[in-house]
Chain A
């Protein structure tokens, strides 16, 4: 059992969402940054489909009643275990009675906390995700709530991620053009490629709302309602685009000028309000290649590690900020890793 001491700004349980129910009006929901969710799950030996905590803007504070193995990924935060800093992107062992404080998210916008066995909740339509649009699934976390971990396979080793992603306050997202280009002026089509868009504070899990010079439409009639997909760049009458995140409505009625490619959706989900964003055109074939490359990198960068290697990695990760660390050395395959301060 884990007690929620502080719930953060918006913390929800998320897995890979509800697939195949769009024709009933059900949003896919699920983790906004599914890449970070999957990495967190793999770091604790879970299948990709387990539910983890999605923390927005600020992290949770948790008290553990039993020993657990956890991992934190996504937007950078300075987590502490009973006041001692702990690193992201590796397996962490938390002993019973200890308090984990995740603090504020310092870069990026969403962080993920996975636990061995996954966080448990009653599945709704085969998913433990909180659908923040319709309310399906578990309630968002609140202080005093108790979380339960599912049972996990026993394993002694842990993992870390080689070269974890870093998120800044600007991003260049790749898009595939269309399908409704003929609804827009040529100036709007040019502007999509050349303007800098700013992320509005009105953004949420349904979509990232952008502020820019309005993208002007030629047609002012309504688009017949149609199915929508994550990454669609919708343009309402105001000309201020909305890029859909995973909790978008299943259908929508605004024309779509372009679609962010699947491989860049995790970058979209990590854009904090005020961040700057540009779009770059790619072909569908290039987009699929990028996704394939992302998948193989995920496999490649996941490193199995024993306790001493994990400790050394933790030391290295944290060394920058901590004067008290003197040195550490450990063998990783054929390489000897040593740090001194």
Chain B
């Protein structure tokens, strides 16, 4: 991808993380970023230092393996999101049914991206699969719990966004002063509960 990156297409985020771990062990000169995605690992390098062709030719073999079993996070959610009624209607179910389905699943953090600490959570009930809003919002408040494109997630900070907002919670998902700034890590599991 361009003169400074290699895009490795893979079958799932588990393989992307496995390849990332394998490449970290090799400690390749000039490699600046290893960014896992839903079906890829992006290797970003300084082309004057790293030999991208050599890296591409000697990618370590990785096999599908369960992600490292991470922590379980439970978030208390106030399900009063702006899009809750319209989304329930679009999905052809009642609001309480939508909330029940959203709180029933145990999600897995597939990878992080979009803004610092934002985890793409997989494991969404297939009945809740829906495209993004046709008009993205200029500002989605921090702590919003939302879903779209087969994922659900929590907004670590206020940002423009196109996902459907179900509710809010007050978890701090990113703190730049910590050694591990992101609360969520790939492989972690997440469960949402109705705040009481």
Interaction A to B = yes
The residues of A with any CB-CB pair to B shorter than 8 Å are: 19-28, 124-125, 133-136, 175-176, 178-179, 222, 224-229, 231-232, 249-251, 253, 256, 259-262, 284, 287-288, 291-292, 295
How many residues in B have their beta carbons less than 8 Å from beta carbons of A?
Answer: 38
Question: Which B residues touch A25, using CB under 8 A?
Answer: 112-118, 174, 182
B34 adjacent to A136 (CB under 8 Å): no
B47 within 8 A of A: yes
Please judge, given known A-B contacts A227-B42, A291-B48, whether A256 and B1 are in contact too, CB under 8 Å.
yes
A134 adjacent to B1 (CB under 8 Å): no
A256 CA / B37 CA spacing, docked (Å): 15
Question: Which A residues touch B113, using CB under 8 A?
Answer: 22, 25, 225, 227, 249-251
Tell me, rounded to whole Å, the shortest Cβ–Cβ distance linking B107 to chain A. 16
The residues of B with any CB-CB pair to A shorter than 8 Å are: 1-5, 7, 20, 32-42, 44, 47-48, 52, 111-118, 120, 149, 157, 159, 174, 176, 181-182
B176 adjacent to A259 (CB under 8 Å): no
A226 adjacent to B38 (CB under 8 Å): yes
Question: Which B residues touch A175, using CB under 8 A?
Answer: 2
A136 CA / B117 CA spacing, docked (Å): 12
Contacts between the two chains (Cβ within 8 Å), count: 136
A249 CA / B116 CA spacing, docked (Å): 9
A226 adjacent to B33 (CB under 8 Å): no
Question: Which B residues touch A226, using CB under 8 A?
Answer: 7, 35, 37-40, 42
A284 adjacent to B3 (CB under 8 Å): yes
B114 adjacent to A228 (CB under 8 Å): no
Question: Which B residues touch A256, using CB under 8 A?
Answer: 1
A26 adjacent to B116 (CB under 8 Å): yes
User: What are 5 residue pairs bridging A and B, where the CB atoms are less than 8 Å apart in the complex?
Assistant: A26-B181, A28-B33, A222-B149, A229-B1, A259-B1
Please judge, given known A-B contacts A25-B182, A125-B181, A225-B113, whether A176 and B33 are in contact too, CB under 8 Å.
no
Q: Which residue of B lies closest to A125 (CB)?
A: B176
Tell me, rounded to whole Å, the shortest Cβ–Cβ distance linking B140 to chain A. 13
A121 CA / B116 CA spacing, docked (Å): 20
Tell me, rounded to whole Å, the shortest Cβ–Cβ distance linking B17 to chain A. 9
A262 adjacent to B47 (CB under 8 Å): yes
A291 adjacent to B37 (CB under 8 Å): no
